[in-house]
């Protein structure tokens, strides 16, 4: 009996190790090979270098100038600027509307409430390619020119659902007696929300906002369909580079994006722990 328990525990541990290796090994390889000086075949290690990171920031050397893959750092910077603008705007809009909808669904009773709640899950479970094609057809049909504005609208259509889910989970754990006590003491709805409700749901709001920001920054499929000629985002820019082959600069850009995502997630966890 003890042998069977030990065997099950060992098999579970081995499965866990293989699972994490399968998920995280490719990420570690991207980071490692971003420091490989071989400009032809990144899988063959030549020597350690920071040249590809210098190339991204516009600093080229004689060793990398002949192997330069980025057509223009200006195009890269424009894509980063577009991504940050879209992500910040979408995060603000999605956080405000997602939080408001979550509060409305939790606090008010109305017909088809369950159906409306289920409807908020639809953009999350819908395939990205279907949503992207649907948005493209809609924008073309109503005559809206594809631009940064259409990307923001497209991202808001599904990121509001993410914020709604995160904030709803936080609201479900609230003690409503605190809000009732605030009302009994003479506070109006706005004061109760600002002084009682918002501080209690703030960790969920921050978590939903950061989740929306990261997803908006990393979205490719939907953005690819609804982006205009002059509204290229960073994921679309990387995809265009990949179509011509995997080069060391791509690994460096991916490593920087990974570091940026880790910093955002760490800030969110830190703020959430302080609020708790």
pTM for this entry: 0.81
Residues 6 or more apart from 75 whose CB is under 8 A from it?
232, 237
Co-location of 101 and 199 in the same domain? yes
86 in the same domain as 27: no
In this structure, is residue 139 part of a structural domain?
A: yes
- Does residue 264 fall inside a structural domain? no
- Give a yes or no: residue 60 inside a domain: yes
Give CA–CA dist 257/198, Å, rounded. Answer: 31
Residues 81 and 122 in one domain: yes
Q: Say how far apart CA 183 and CA 193 lie, in whole Å.
A: 10
Q: Is residue 49 domain-shared with residue 87, that is, in the same domain?
A: no
Domain CATH number, residue 160: 1.10.3720.10
For residues 156 and 217, state if they share a domain: yes
* 140 and 48, same domain (yes or no): no
- Residue 114 is assigned to a structural domain of this protein: yes
Looking at every residue in the chain, the average pLDDT score rounds to 82
Range(s) of the domain holding residue 166: 73-245
114 pLDDT band (50/70/90 cuts)?
confident
124-168 pLDDT per residue, tens = 888 889 999 999 999 999 989 998 999 999 999 999 999 999 898
Instruction: Tell me whether residue 24 is in a domain.
Output: yes
- Domain contains 266: no
Same domain, yes or no, for 6 and 122? Answer: no
Query: Does residue 270 lie within any of the structural domains?
Result: no
Number of domains in the chain: 2
Tens-place pLDDT, residues 195-211: 888 888 888 888 889 88
From 14, 49, 65, give the residue that closes a domain: 65
- Residue 6: inside a domain: yes
Q: Which residues contact 264 (CB under 8 A, 6 or more apart)?
A: 210, 213, 214
Q: Where are the beta strands (DSSP E) in the chain?
A: none
The span from the CA of 130 to the CA of 42, in Å, is: 35
Do residues 102 and 15 both lie within one domain? no
């Amino acid at each position: 009996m003890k042998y069977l328990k030990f065997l099950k525990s060992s098999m579970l541990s081995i499965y866990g190790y293989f699972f994490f290796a399968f998920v995280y090994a490719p990420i570690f390889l991207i980071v490692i090979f971003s420091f490989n000086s071989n400009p032809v075949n990144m899988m063959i290690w030549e020597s350690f270098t920071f040249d590809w990171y210098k190339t991204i920031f516009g600093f080229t050397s004689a060793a990398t100038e002949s192997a330069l893959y980025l057509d223009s750092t200006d195009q890269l910077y424009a894509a980063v600027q577009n991504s940050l603008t879209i992500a910040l705007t979408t995060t603000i809009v999605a956080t405000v509307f997602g939080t408001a909808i979550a509060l409305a669904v939790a606090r008010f009773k109305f017909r088809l409430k369950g159906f409306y709640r289920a409807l908020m899950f639809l953009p999350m479970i819908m395939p990205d390619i279907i949503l992207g094609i649907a948005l493209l057809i809609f924008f073309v049909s109503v005559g809206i020119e594809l631009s940064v504005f259409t990307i923001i609208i497209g991202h808001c259509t599904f990121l509001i659902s993410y914020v709604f889910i995160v904030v709803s989970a936080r609201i479900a754990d609230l003690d409503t007696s605190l809000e009732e006590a605030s009302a009994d003491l003479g506070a109006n709805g706005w004061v109760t929300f600002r002084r009682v409700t918002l501080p209690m749901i703030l960790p969920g709001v921050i978590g939903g906002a950061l989740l929306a920001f990261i997803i908006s920054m990393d979205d490719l499929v939907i953005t690819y369909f609804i982006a205009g000629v002059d509204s290229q985002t960073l994921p679309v820019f990387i995809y265009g580079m990949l179509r011509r082959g995997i080069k060391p600069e791509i690994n460096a850009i991916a490593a920087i994006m990974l570091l940026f995502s880790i910093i955002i997630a760490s800030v969110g966890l830190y703020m959430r722990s302080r609020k708790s």
